[in-house]
Amino acid sequence: MQFSEEPSDDLQQQASQPLYEFPADPSTPQGVDATQSSAHQEDSTQGAGSEQNGRTHKPGAKQPSDEDFRRGLAYPPPPSFFQNMQVPTEAPPLPAALETRAPVASADAFRYVPPGYAPDGQLPPFQPSAPPPRKSRKRVWIISVVVSAILLLSCSLCGWAAYNLFAPAFRQVSGSADVIDNYYSALQEKQYVTAYTYLAPQSTIADLTQDKFLQQAQDLDQRYGAISSYEPKQISFADPDSTNLSRFTITVNVSRPKLQYTALLTLQKINGHWKIVDFNRI
């Protein structure tokens, strides 16, 4: 028995068509006529076409409307739904802006936190070191004022003591300097008689007469030249602790062209006038 290798055209046509299988309907009597059978076959054909479009219609089921597809009660919608759908001409309104509200502070935000500490769960803030306290200058000013007052008072006391100590001596020896100055000025001008008037010979010159004095003064001027300059120096009292300051000695530096020497003069207050009572050299 031989079979042809190529299938017949009828077999190829049957293979390309889908096969549908429907359950037997018990309500349908066996003795239906050919007209009802053909109608049932047409419904089956339409059902197969509907299955190809994506959905299956059960016999006697209600067809969904476009509103059902729009509300999402039926899915998927047929192509006619998209063709008949109207495109909105106006853009949909934007959503309303969200209202911003300030954050509500919690109860912990009002809790007192001592300086240098941080709330729970947070690191303490950085705190720079405090600058060193400035030293008060009030104490320095007070010390300066006190020291200045003490120094001023000390100077005042010293001046008062010096005045009380030396004022009597100054009053007693005042005028003696004029006698010394007048005596040597007369010798410079070679007025020997005038110079002798400032003498009151005592002690070692007790026997010094005016003629002897003139002779000694002229001899010195001829040998060493006339007195060119003189300078009184140190004064010394015979008894410094005594209140009697009417007698004292003084040194005088004398310069001549050919000789320089120091003369020691003794002065004494006689009858209220200072006189040269003794000397070692003219």
Residue 188: phi and psi, rounded to 5, are -60, -40
Q: Retrieve residue 227's tokens.
A: 């007195």
What contacts 76, CB < 8 A, 6 or more positions away? 54, 55
Q: What is the pTM of this model?
A: 0.42
DSSP state of 204: G
Which own/partner pairs from 196-201 qualify as long-range (CB within 8 Å, at least 24 positions apart)?
198/275, 198/276, 199/275, 199/276, 199/277, 200/268, 200/270, 200/275, 200/276, 200/277, 201/277
Please give the pLDDT value at position 82.
Answer: 72
Please give the pLDDT value at position 183.
Answer: 96
Half-sphere exposure of 114 (CA within 13 A, CB side): 2
Please give the pLDDT value at position 196.
Answer: 95
What contacts 119, CB < 8 A, 6 or more positions away? 108, 111, 113
CA–CA dist 95, 6 (Å, integer): 69
Please give the pLDDT value at position 214.
Answer: 94
pLDDT in tens, the chain (282 residues): 444 455 455 545 444 544 444 444 444 444 444 444 444 444 444 444 444 444 555 555 677 777 777 777 777 777 777 777 766 666 667 777 667 666 655 555 556 666 666 666 566 666 667 777 676 677 788 888 889 989 988 888 887 776 666 555 555 667 888 999 999 999 999 999 999 999 998 888 888 999 999 999 999 999 999 999 999 998 888 776 666 778 889 999 999 999 999 999 999 998 888 999 999 998
Residue ranges covered by each domain of the chain: 173-279
Pairing mode, strands 247-256 and 273-279: unpaired
Q: Give the number of other Cβ atoms within 10 Å of residue 237's Cβ.
A: 15
Half-sphere exposure of 103 (CA within 13 A, CB side): 4
What contacts 186, CB < 8 A, 6 or more positions away? 192, 194, 195, 198
Class of domain 173-279: alpha beta
If phi over 0 gives left and psi between -120 and 50 gives alpha, with beta otherwise, what is residue 6? Answer: beta
